[in-house]
Amino acid sequence: MTKVIENIYQLSVNMEDILFEGLWEMPNGVSLNSYIIKGEKTAIVDGVCGWDGVPESLFALLDKLNIAPESIEYLIINHMEPDHSGWIEDFKKINSNFKVVCSKKSAELLEAFYGHTNNVTCVTDNDTLDLGNNHILKFVEIPNVHWPDTIATFDTLTGTLFSCDAFGSFGKVTKSNYDDELSDEEIDFYEREAVRYYSNIVAAFSTPVKKAIDKCSTLPIKIIAPGHGIVWRKNPNKILEDYSRYAAYQKGIAKEEVTIIWGSMYGMTEKAVQHVIKVLEQEKIKFHVHRVPETSWGTVLASVWTSTGIILAMPTYEYKMFPPLAAVLEEIGKKKAFNRKAFRFGSYGWSGGAQKELDEIMNKHCMKWDFLEPVEFKGAPREEDLNLIEQKVKVLVSEVRTLVKG
């Protein structure tokens, strides 16, 4: 338990060795954050879910703060996804009189997931809740960041924005939960984890994210306290600006970076990939290399999101694209990573076919990637194939640099 500011406390629990949403690998874990606001009345904003004995931690925290669980008057549910609301059933066992404050959509989901309908107050933009002692909470609808039910809660006294998933990041919290207590390197770690989180969980909703940033930016924010990751107490603008950039990357020009996504059956395409890695090193451009299916979708997505250039390398497989590459490209398409500069090469045995499937995926998701002419080679790449690939990669790097410099 830590103190965010006078009368506001955080309970944060790290989760590791699980797939987030049953799907996303988290090599560095994630924190789940819950907040307690003490006015004359007490409210809990979001919660930490029931895994890992968390209700006990919550009850211990309440004990430390001399708050009887039965005296908690309000549960504010910014977003109903069970990583934030899964503890309600446990909480109900000890306090049957609390009131839930949430959006209309959250109320519907609360009934659908937990059958909970008692004492639910639905709020909308600019509605307020007075906890006493000047803690007047104001609600802001930020739908589709990333579920349609999402709101943010703003404490007008302290300028604290409880943003739930918005402005969150992966990465477990170890040394401190607050940006003012972390080194630049530690902040960089959470920035990388924010990119992973954004690209995996929020990216498809980049337009609603932009609207949410615009809306929240009208508030006199002093602290951003998200449901995942660290609290931004020293520099809340940093995470707002970072999220603005991540949202903008959806439309195309991102960083001066290249991501290679590749697969190989018997090492023929791999020979050309090794050559491309040397070329990128010579070109001194930042690049990421991901082999599929060995690398998780989440890791691939994180570097695709920040890369302006993408290189796809794969053999033809049963007249189509190497299946793991097709699968990850489908996911990239669903996240709407548009307008990348791209190049494809790879090996085939007796027939091509990868291009047709690649075109289908690009069209299906309206990705509008700008591809250089592909290079395919029969069996192993010959010297002339490697030379041609090298030439294309150099063109790609040059075009990426031109685009980024604008």
Q: Choose between 50 and 69: whose C-beta lies nearer to ligand FEO.
A: 50
Minimum gap (Å) between residue 206 Cβ and ligand FEO? 16
Site stretch for ligand FEO (CB under 6 A), options 77-85, 213-221, 289-297, 314-322: 77-85
Does the footprint of ligand FEO cover residue 81 (CB under 6 A)? yes
- Part in contact with ligand FEO (CB under 6 A); list of ranges 75-83, 109-117, 242-250, 275-283: 75-83
Instruction: Tell me whether the omega of the peptide bond preceding residue 293 falls within 30 degrees of 0, making it cis.
Output: yes
Q: Minimum Å distance from CB 298 to ligand FEO?
A: 15
| CB-nearer residue toward ligand FEO: 38 or 79 | 79
Q: How many residues does the chain have?
A: 406
Amino acid found at 385: D
60: tokens are 């211990």
Query: Which of 13, 35, 77, 83 contacts ligand FEO by CB under 6 A?
Result: 83
Q: How far is the CB of 148 from ligand FEO (least distance, A)?
A: 11
**Of the two residues 32 and 289, which places its CB atom closer to ligand FEO in the complex?**
32
Q: Can you read off the two tokens belonging to residue 237?
A: 């603008």
- Order of strands, sheet of 2-5, starting from the edge strand that comes earlier in the sequence: 2-5, 8-15, 30-38, 42-45, 74-77, 99-102, 120-122
Q: Quick one: 33 or 299, whose CB is closer to ligand FEO?
A: 33
**Residue nearest ligand FEO by beta-carbon distance:** 81
Of 259, 326, 321, 331, the closest CA to residue 298 belongs to 331
* Residues of this chain, 317-376, that bind ligand FEO according to CB under 6 A: none
Residue of 165, 179, 357, 376 that binds ligand FEO (CB under 6 A): 165
Burial classification of residue 215, based on how many CB atoms lie within 10 Å of its CB (0-12 exposed, 13-18 middle, 19 or more buried): middle
CA distance 162 to 174: 21
Pick one of 79, 135, 335, 365: the residue that binds ligand FEO (CB under 6 A).
Answer: 79
| Residues binding ligand FEO (CB under 6 A) | 79, 81, 83-84, 146-147, 165, 227-228
